[in-house]
Amino acid sequence: MQAKRRHLLYSALIALVVFALSGCTAAIPAAEAPATEAPAAEAPAAEVPAGMEELVAAAQAEGELTVIALPRDWCNYGEVIDSFAAKYGIKVNELDPNAGSGDELEAIKANKDNKGPQAPDVIDVGFAFGPQAVAEGLLQPYKVSTWETIPESAKDPEGYWYGDYYGVMAFLVNKDVVANTPQSWLDLAKPEYKGQFALSGDPRTSNQAILSIQAASLANGGTLADPTAGLELMAQVNQAGNLVPVIALPGTVALGETPITAVWDYNALSWADGFEGNPATEVVIPSDGRIAGVYLQGISAYAPHPNAAKLWMEHLYSDEGQLMWMKGYCRPIREADLRERGAIPDEIAAKIPDASGVVFPTLDELVTGKQVIVENWDSVVGADVKAAQ
């Protein structure tokens, strides 16, 4: 009952909760909207050229775009990046593909005065990181030409950030190593999974890992706003010797170093495709603690290539860009509009798993839950999750 109630409440966060299966639409209450102060004066937003032709010319004059935290197998970003570069003749610099959302904000801060390829022009971060980035003056506003088809509840009214896609938390399991696939978050504490479970990010900085703990909280009788129960479950998993303090990646899963990981379903399915049956895998959406997570885009207030950044956003939010994400198992933010116009090919629509019954956190739950996890992970769980050596 609690999950069903939360599922309906999510219409206050994003109007396309269950796509064509639901007609519910609502806006986030004004009280929850983040402040939208303009970026610091020393980093003014570049003026948007009058038309797309002028924008393209201005972007091509800049010649480069720097992105960060975009693994090529995440939401089919490899094709997205390559198609942008080929279409416009703009070089794309790809920084640290395994960085977390918090790392992306830190990269902007660290490179405010850097006009070289180490300064990110754009970011793709978890929903809770949008208000933080605005409050810290790290983003500049821009509204893409398809702005009106992005649900009101999934975008900042001033254009500082806007939802891009979402997924559902799942388990990816290496079946060559794991005999019995876990079906619930509580299963992860069982002795049979000793040394087998890993998160797909550092829960102190990674949105994907943070949402995993919030999902575990629901499964363990807690809430999204206060995910202490999730931290306590992870402490049990760690004390049982089941938690591997390594960030799970396709390679670690394939080699059996992290044979069970919690990861967005679009990543799990994409990684499994890449394995081509070696190893055999299984993707499971847990029976408890089912949670969905929205990501969002934003342009750095200090972007060295502001026009290329805006053209990149036009690319992402075009029908072409949205369908490329969907080919990578991600549910794009403009899906309702695409479905209404019959713009989604059947073979692409068939790739998306059923997402019914999942819980969609509100913005407040994301922000407060994130704070609890970041501040208490070390003291409650005590596992220093790091990248594999």
Distance between CA atoms of residues 251 and 36, nearest Å: 40
pLDDT, tens digit, 9 for 90 and up, residues 201-259: 999 999 999 999 999 999 999 999 999 999 999 999 999 999 999 999 999 999 999 99
> What distances in angstroms separate CA 82 from CA 2, 90, 151, 294, 310, one per listed residue?
43, 10, 28, 24, 17
Please, which residues bridge with residue 331 across strands? Answer: 166
pLDDT, tens digit, 9 for 90 and up, residues 16-54: 333 333 333 223 222 333 333 334 434 444 444 457 899
Supply the pLDDT for residue 62.
Answer: 98
Q: Quick check: 365 and 227 in contact, CB under 8 A?
A: no
CA-closest candidate to residue 169, choices 190, 130, 205, 200 = 200
Torsion over CA: 47, 53, 58, 62 (sign) = positive
CA-closest candidate to residue 101, choices 204, 227, 252 = 204
Given its phi and psi angles, is residue 28 left (phi above 0), alpha (psi -120 to 50 degrees) or beta?
Answer: beta
Please, which residues bridge with residue 94 across strands? Answer: 67
Please, which residues bridge with residue 92 across strands? Answer: 65
Distance between CA atoms of residues 28 and 364, nearest Å: 10
Quote the crossing angle between the two packed helices 306-316 and 77-88, to the nearest 10°: 120
DSSP string, 228-239: HHHHHHHHHHHH
Q: What is the three-class DSSP state of 281?
A: strand
Q: Quick check: 26 and 15 in contact, CB under 8 A?
A: yes
Higher-pLDDT residue of 6 and 169 is: 169
Q: Quick check: 200 and 262 in contact, CB under 8 A?
A: yes
| Side chain identity, residue 248 | A
Distance between CA atoms of residues 316 and 314, nearest Å: 6
pLDDT, tens digit, 9 for 90 and up, residues 134-175: 999 999 999 999 999 998 888 999 999 999 999 999 999 999
Supply the pLDDT for residue 12.
Answer: 35
Residues of the chain within CATH 3.40.190.10 domain(s) are: 2-19+49-164+295-349, 166-292+362-380
Supply the pLDDT for residue 355.
Answer: 63
Q: Hey, what CATH topology would domain 2-19+49-164+295-349 get? A: D-Maltodextrin-Binding Protein; domain 2 (3.40.190)
CA-closest candidate to residue 107, choices 155, 53, 73, 69 = 69
CA-closest candidate to residue 36, choices 140, 169, 147, 151 = 140
DSSP string, 312-346: HHHHHTSHHHHHHHHHTT-EETTHHHHHHTT-S-H
Supply the pLDDT for residue 358.
Answer: 82
pLDDT, tens digit, 9 for 90 and up, residues 50-109: 578 999 999 999 999 999 999 999 999 999 999 999 999 999 999 999 999 999 999 999
The residue-averaged pLDDT of 299-310 equals 98
Cβ neighbours for 253, distance < 8 A, ≥ 6 positions apart: 172, 174, 259, 261, 271, 281
Report the predicted TM-score, pTM, of the whole model to 2 decimal places. Answer: 0.77
Supply the pLDDT for residue 7.
Answer: 35
Higher-pLDDT residue of 179 and 25 is: 179
The total number of residues written for the chain in this structure:
389
Strands 162-174 and 331-332: antiparallel
Higher-pLDDT residue of 1 and 242 is: 242
| Side chain identity, residue 187 | D
What pLDDT band is residue 356 in, cutting at 50, 70 and 90? low
pLDDT, tens digit, 9 for 90 and up, residues 316-339: 999 999 999 999 999 999 988 998
Given its phi and psi angles, is residue 159 left (phi above 0), alpha (psi -120 to 50 degrees) or beta?
Answer: left
Supply the pLDDT for residue 345.
Answer: 95
Q: What is the three-class DSSP state of 53?
A: helix
The superfamily in CATH containing domain 166-292+362-380 is Periplasmic binding protein-like II (3.40.190.10)
